[in-house]
Structure 1
Amino acid sequence: MEELSSICRRRDYDWRYLSKSWRPPAVVIALAAVGSIFIPAGEVWRWGYLLGVLLVLNVLARRAHRDVPLGLAMAQWIWGTDHPRVVRLRVAWAAQLSRQGRIGLAVTQLDDILPGMIEVWGPDHPETLTVRAMHLRLRGDYGALPGRVAALEELTGEMLRAMGPGHPETLAARGLMAKWLDQDGDTNRALALYEDVVSVSSETLGAGDTLTLRARRALIELRYITASDANNMDGRYAALDEMTDAVRDMLWVLGPAHPITVGSQRTLDLWMEETRVDIALGKIRPFDARRRGEADPGSV
């Protein structure tokens, strides 16, 4: 199941948006206006010196839009390490590192960020809780983290108290816990948790929200796998029907080119091919025959 967290897609955590918001040309104009007050018009060399400094600053600011370490250094020099904008820049950099597969560096970055967020913003601040969930996900998904489900369960309890059950980040964390429960073999708890995430997300965010659709897809996939492993063909056909309906909704809401739609359609095509092969081999009856009450060959 894909990561459900929405923090990396929010505008206030987007590196390009934050770096653009510095408005380098406006800074240059403001400095030039201040310089015109203190530099006499006759001292041309001072004007040249000021213009050179302003141009260098402008070039550095524009380069910082593309060079993240340089941008972070400039932001920390301007605002300080604990400024909210700098903290968000650092979190955005960690998210970018994780997308590049540099998980160790991303975890190290978050290790350095979190103590300051907890001290300055507080442990129950929504953004602190969200970054804690992001940190735990990276450690749990890509490293050896004993007791990861228990740690995430404790964190989701804090998120439920602070942000409520319908907050996107709370739903994302609970979806992640369902994924880990499934990976650890606790299928029944995973199914129940996925069902609750889909229900709450549909009520609060809407049935067409990407988080709802991702959780719905994960729930159907787990139902199909569980039914197949148990040779429960009624459950398998039911999952096929549910995925067909889900793909239709994704096509309507997200469009055919969206990654969620593409992945779900690919999964549905694979399941349909598996079913056709099993029918051809006589392992299961066609769906119409099952509706007439005929048994599976393998179930007799």
Structure 2
Amino acid sequence: MEQAVAEGGMAVLCQVLSGTGGVGKTQLAAHHARTAWQAGAVDLLVWVTATSRDAVLSAYAEAAVLVTDPDDPQCADPDDPERAAVRFLAWAQSTDRRWLIVLDDVSDPAHLNGTNGRGDLWPPARPNGRTVVTSRRRDAALPGHLIDVGLFTKDEADGYLRAKLAAQGRHDDPGQVEELARDLGHLPLALAQAVTYLLDLHLDCATYRARLADRARTLPDLVPEDSGLPDAHRATVAATWSLSIEHADRLRPTGLARPMLHLVALLDPNGIPATVLTSPPALAYLTEHRTPDGGTDPDVSPRAVGVDDAADALRCLHRLSLADHTPNTPHQAVRVHNLVQRATRESLPPAARDTAARTCADALYQAWPEVERDTALGQALRANTAALTAHAADALWQPDGHPVLFHTGNSLGYTGLVTAARAYFQDLHTAARQNLGPDHPDTLTARHYLAYWRGAAGDVAGAATAAAELLADRLRVLGPDHPDTLAARNNLAYWRGAGAAGDMAGSATAFAELLADRLRMLGPDHPDTLDTRHNLAHWRGMAGDAAGAATATAELLADQLRVLGPDHPATLAARHNLAHWRGMAGDAAGAATAQTEVLADKLRVLGPDHPDTLLGRNNLAHWRGEAGDAAGAATAFAELLVDQLRVLGTDHPDTLVTRYYLTYWRGQADGASGSVR
């Protein structure tokens, strides 16, 4: 970065060092100016703290006194800063002397623009003159060549901490030094103040990291007092961004940058989807919490914030370097430094933080697509839910468990990460029990999903036992006709038949009894009733009645097409099963043809990496083999295995099934036992 400034200084008339507060823009400009002066490359150096127009005028007036002839009747009058500034800029325009003007910390480009009868204060473009601007702004109105001053690299941050410690005879554990740099997000200002603090208090890096992780301590508690700030810092880490937030809030649309930052501060610093921050819950929050305008009548309701307003608020944060907003990366459209987030969270009273957290949860839940065709979006939404939970877990359990908590775990499972889903719901059940008690419906729901994903991950016997225990508790707490109790009966019936020695006939009987109760309670067209018919048909077939299963599935499919539509995942599942049972009833070629057709629709609706699409490829390969194309089946299973290993992993039950069938069909194609390598 220093090299870029130095090289640019010889060829570029105006350079703008832009970046968030704390990255070292001022120090970099000072180093460049000092080097140029000591090298004799400039005859006049003017340093301007450009936080306001008055500050710029004052600095120019002082410079004018130095460069103009005191006997000249047109000499600048320091008591008339506007006139003095004009004289100084005129001198800079006409002189042959080499000058360098540093405009440090330009808070608003408008302060230097010539508008409303005021003169333009930007230095002139002259071959013998150079201008360096530092600013947190990234406005297009800033002149010159923009240099984005970013964070330290990992090696730079580690090296900086080690050097500062070594200067005091300290040689801390290199691993702890590296982790401290990571904890502080490689922000130069934070690193400088943290190392000064721990040296002053004789702490090692591990102890300081423990204090940093302690949420009872705020950022101001973890840096030196104002009188002990290092490197001529003017503000602590926590105060560094306050002025930027005030400026951002005054940009159009006024009053929205601050409440938007409240939401951003609770989500994943590595990337927040645009759809979350422009969702209806987010817009409602921005409308309600818009920073008041002094000229606004308090009795007049503010105009509702729209999607464009929310996007413009993100641009305000971007312009002041409080966040990076890149709309062309929608799944990670907004990134923000973790210390900016922490400083923002710590500025919020607990009640306000909880309100913002519930808004974020609502926004995440609403942004989640019904079908996760885009795996990158699902991963981003799960990462943001994890960040939200880490920052404001208590708020998500008041008054009940927020739906996004459950949806996140199911997202893991439905995208193939069944082992992760089981672990997630184990933790969620613990949290629900602690926050709501063992008999709360949401605690029972966490147990419900834990049992399901336990079975999906391969522990069928454990899932059946857990489902039976859950059913007893739901009968006691909720009663026999509650939908959650019926759901518990559904899962218990399924896992009874799913094991290697499963009771398939018993499962079919249990689903027949459940269907009668769901028809009575929910009616024939309720999705849960249709799902029960699906399971009943499945277990009839598994119990040996393939023809009956095919007939029942065909009847179910007609109703699903009418109620749910052709592209609903349940409809696609029924078509999948219908093809399967027709094959089991003896029509292997017809099954292969039907699976080909449904696979095309699964690819279109669910995407190529969805577990149901991969399962469709499994079944198509199987029926190709059963129809006589053993070599084609083996090839298809080999291709499928590559994708399942990539998407699901080596231990997923579906991956293990594919490995088995690949061995089988290779053996059939070769006339001998095959092997998987």
TM-score (normalizing by structure 2): 0.31
* 1:221-240 aligned within 5 A: 221-228=538-545, 237-240=547-550
Tell me the equivalent position of 1:98: 413
Letter in 1 for 2:415: Q
Aligned equivalent of 2:562, options 252, 264, 278: 252
Residue 182 of structure 1, CA deviation: 0.9
Aligned equivalent of 2:387, options 48, 70, 73: 73
Deviations 1:26-69 (A, max 9, x none): 448735218999xxxxxxxxxxxxx7699748979976755543
* Cα distance change, pair 21–91 in 1 and its aligned pair in 2 (3 A): farther
Tell me the equivalent position of 2:510: 193
Deviations 1:161-192 (A, max 9, x none): 22233333322222221111112321232122
- How far apart are the structure 1 equivalents of 2:333 and 2:399? 15
- How far apart are the structure 2 equivalents of 1:105 and 1:273? 34
Query: Rg: which structure is higher?
Result: 2
Count of aligned pairs between the two proteins: 244
Residues 422, 454 of structure 2: 8 Å contact kept:
yes
Tell me the equivalent position of 1:132: 447
Residue 201 of structure 1, CA deviation: 1.1
Tell me the equivalent position of 2:573: 263
Residues 276, 282 of structure 2: 8 Å contact kept:
no
* Cα distance change, pair 84–20 in 1 and its aligned pair in 2 (3 A): farther
- How far apart are the structure 1 equivalents of 2:400 and 2:388? 10
* Cα distance change, pair 117–144 in 1 and its aligned pair in 2 (3 A): same
- How far apart are the structure 2 equivalents of 1:87 and 1:240? 40
Letter in 1 for 2:436: W
Tell me the equivalent position of 1:218: 535
* Cα distance change, pair 17–54 in 1 and its aligned pair in 2 (3 A): same
* Cα distance change, pair 198–62 in 1 and its aligned pair in 2 (3 A): farther
Which stretch of the first structure deviates more once superposed, 259-268 or 172-181? Answer: 259-268
Tell me the equivalent position of 1:108: 423
Tell me the equivalent position of 2:494: 179
Tell me the equivalent position of 2:118: none
Tell me the equivalent position of 1:159: 474
What SS does structure 2 have at the residue aligned with 1:256? coil
Residues 114, 128 of structure 1: 8 Å contact kept:
yes
What SS does structure 2 have at the residue aligned with 1:166? coil
* Cα distance change, pair 25–211 in 1 and its aligned pair in 2 (3 A): closer
Residue 269 of structure 1, CA deviation: 4.0
Letter in 1 for 2:387: A
Deviations 1:4-29 (A, max 9, x none): xxxxxxxxxxx988994652674487
* Cα distance change, pair 226–74 in 1 and its aligned pair in 2 (3 A): closer
- How far apart are the structure 1 equivalents of 2:277 and 2:503? 41
What SS does structure 2 have at the residue aligned with 1:123? coil
Tell me the equivalent position of 1:295: none
Deviations 1:86-139 (A, max 9, x none): 942333322222222223333333232222311321212111111111012112
Q: Compare the two structures and name the one with the higher strand fraction.
A: 2
* Cα distance change, pair 94–82 in 1 and its aligned pair in 2 (3 A): same
* 1:201-212 aligned within 5 A: 201-212=518-529
* Cα distance change, pair 263–156 in 1 and its aligned pair in 2 (3 A): same
* Cα distance change, pair 154–78 in 1 and its aligned pair in 2 (3 A): closer
Identity, in percent, stands at 25
Tell me the equivalent position of 1:118: 433
What SS does structure 2 have at the residue aligned with 1:217? helix
Residues 505, 543 of structure 2: 8 Å contact kept:
no
What SS does structure 2 have at the residue aligned with 1:227? coil
* Cα distance change, pair 142–26 in 1 and its aligned pair in 2 (3 A): closer
Tell me the equivalent position of 1:84: 398
List alignment gaps of at least 5 residues for structure 2. Answer: 1-272, 297-315, 326-331, 336-359, 365-379, 589-677
Residues 76, 86 of structure 1: 8 Å contact kept:
no
Structure showing greater relative contact order (alpha-carbon pairs closer than 8 Å, 6 or more residues apart)? 1
Which stretch of the first structure deviates more once superposed, 53-62 or 258-267? Answer: 53-62
What SS does structure 1 have at the residue aligned with 2:571? helix
Aligned equivalent of 2:289, options 18, 21, 30: 30
* Cα distance change, pair 140–238 in 1 and its aligned pair in 2 (3 A): closer
- How far apart are the structure 2 equivalents of 1:162 and 1:110? 21
- How far apart are the structure 2 equivalents of 1:187 and 1:139? 20
Residue 155 of structure 1, CA deviation: 0.6
Residue 70 of structure 1, CA deviation: 4.0
Residues 81, 87 of structure 1: 8 Å contact kept:
no
CA RMSD across the alignment = 4.0
